[in-house]
Amino acid sequence: MAKVFYQSLLEPLSRIVLPTSMNIHNQFIDPSTCKQAISCNFTGPTAKNIIVSKDTILQIFELIERQEDYNEDFDDLNKKDTLNDNVNETESFISGELNTQLQKKSYKISLISEYKLNGSINNITKFRSNENENIDYLIICTKIAKLSIIHWDSSKNSISTVSLHYYEPIMSNLCFEKFEDHEVTQRTDPGSLCSVLEIRGLFAFLPFYHDFMDNDAVEDDIEMAIGDEENKNNEDGPEKKIRKVDSGNSTSSRKSLSSSAIEEGPKTKPRTKKLYNSSFILGSASLHTDLKNVVDFGFLHSYREPTMAILYSPKTVTWAGNLSRGKDNMQVVVLSLDLESKRSTPIIELFDLPYDLEIVQPLPNPINGFLLIGCNEIIHVNSIGSARGIAVNSYYQKCSNFQIKDQSDLELDLAGCAIEYIGGDQMLLITEEGKLYSVSFEKIGGSSNITEIKEINSKNYEGISINQPTSM
Per-residue pLDDT of 267-290, as tens digits, reads 445 566 788 999 999 999 999 999
CA 142 to chain centre: 15
| Lowest mean pLDDT across 38-52, 98-112, 429-443 | 98-112
Q: What own/partner pairs with CB < 8 Å and gap ≥ 24 does 382-390 have?
A: 382/447, 382/448, 382/449, 383/302, 383/447, 384/447, 385/334, 385/347, 385/348, 385/350, 386/447, 386/449, 387/350, 388/449, 388/450, 389/450, 390/450, 390/452, 390/453
Task: Find all residues with CB under 8 Å of 192, minimum gap 6, and list them.
Answer: 127, 128, 129, 208, 210
Task: Find all residues with CB under 8 Å of 17, minimum gap 6, and list them.
Answer: none
Q: Which of 18-32, 204-218, 450-464 has the highest mean pLDDT?
A: 450-464
Task: Residue 438: name the closest of 403, 402, 407, 467 by CA.
Answer: 407
Q: What is the mean pLDDT of residues 374-392?
A: 95
pLDDT (0 to 100) of residue 415: 93
Flag whether pLDDT at 295 surpasses 80: yes
CA distance 165 to 281: 13
Pairing of strands 377-381, 426-430: unpaired
Q: What is the mean pLDDT of residues 415-443?
A: 92
Query: Taking a C-beta distance cutoff of 8 angstroms, is the pair 432, 400 a contact?
Result: no
140, β-bridge pairs: 124, 148
User: What does the DSSP assignment read for 55-77?
Assistant: TTEEEEEEEEEEPP-S---HHHH
Q: What is the pTM of this model?
A: 0.77
CA 231 to chain centre: 47
Query: Taking a C-beta distance cutoff of 8 angstroms, is the pair 391, 410 a contact?
Result: no
Cα 14 to Cα 2, 5, 6, 11, 222, distances in angstroms: 19, 15, 13, 5, 64
pLDDT (0 to 100) of residue 3: 46
CA distance 404 to 383: 18
pLDDT (0 to 100) of residue 317: 79
Query: Taking a C-beta distance cutoff of 8 angstroms, is the pair 422, 412 a contact?
Result: no
pLDDT (0 to 100) of residue 250: 32
Query: Taking a C-beta distance cutoff of 8 angstroms, is the pair 206, 198 a contact?
Result: no
Exposed (0-12), middle (13-18) or buried (19+): which is 396, by Cβ within 10 Å? buried
* Choice between 215 and 399, residue whose per-residue pLDDT is larger: 399
Q: CA angle at residue 6 from 5 to 9, to 5 degrees?
A: 90
Q: What is the mean pLDDT of residues 400-420?
A: 94
Cα 121 to Cα 116, 133, 301, 415, distances in angstroms: 10, 25, 25, 22
Per-residue pLDDT of 301-357, as tens digits, reads 999 999 999 999 988 778 888 888 888 999 999 999 999 999 999 999 999 999 999
pLDDT (0 to 100) of residue 472: 55
pLDDT (0 to 100) of residue 93: 47
Query: Taking a C-beta distance cutoff of 8 angstroms, is the pair 52, 39 a contact?
Result: no
CA 70 to chain centre: 42
Average pLDDT, the chain: 79
pLDDT (0 to 100) of residue 459: 86
Q: What is the mean pLDDT of residues 129-141?
A: 94
CA distance 189 to 95: 30
Per-residue pLDDT of 31-85, as tens digits, reads 888 889 999 999 999 999 999 999 999 999 999 988 665 444 444 545 545 445 5
* Choice between 10 and 385, residue whose per-residue pLDDT is larger: 385
126, β-bridge pairs: 138
pLDDT (0 to 100) of residue 5: 41
Q: How many CB atoms lie within 10 A of CB 220?
A: 11
Residue-level length of the chain: 472
Q: What is the mean pLDDT of residues 443-453?
A: 90
Q: What is the mean pLDDT of residues 90-112?
A: 63
pLDDT (0 to 100) of residue 256: 33
CA distance 350 to 309: 11
Query: Taking a C-beta distance cutoff of 8 angstroms, is the pair 381, 387 a contact?
Result: yes
pLDDT (0 to 100) of residue 333: 97
pLDDT (0 to 100) of residue 245: 29
Q: What is the mean pLDDT of residues 396-408?
A: 94
pLDDT (0 to 100) of residue 118: 85
pLDDT (0 to 100) of residue 89: 47
Specify the 3-state DSSP secondary structure of 218. Answer: helix
Flag whether pLDDT at 7 surpasses 70: no
Q: Tell me the pLDDT band of 175, cut-offs 50, 70 and 90.
A: confident
Query: Taking a C-beta distance cutoff of 8 angstroms, is the pair 115, 159 a contact?
Result: yes
pLDDT (0 to 100) of residue 33: 87
Task: Tell me the chain's radius of gyration from C-alpha atoms.
Answer: 26
| Percent with pLDDT over 70 in the chain | 72
* Choice between 74 and 199, residue whose per-residue pLDDT is larger: 199
Flag whether pLDDT at 433 surpasses 70: yes
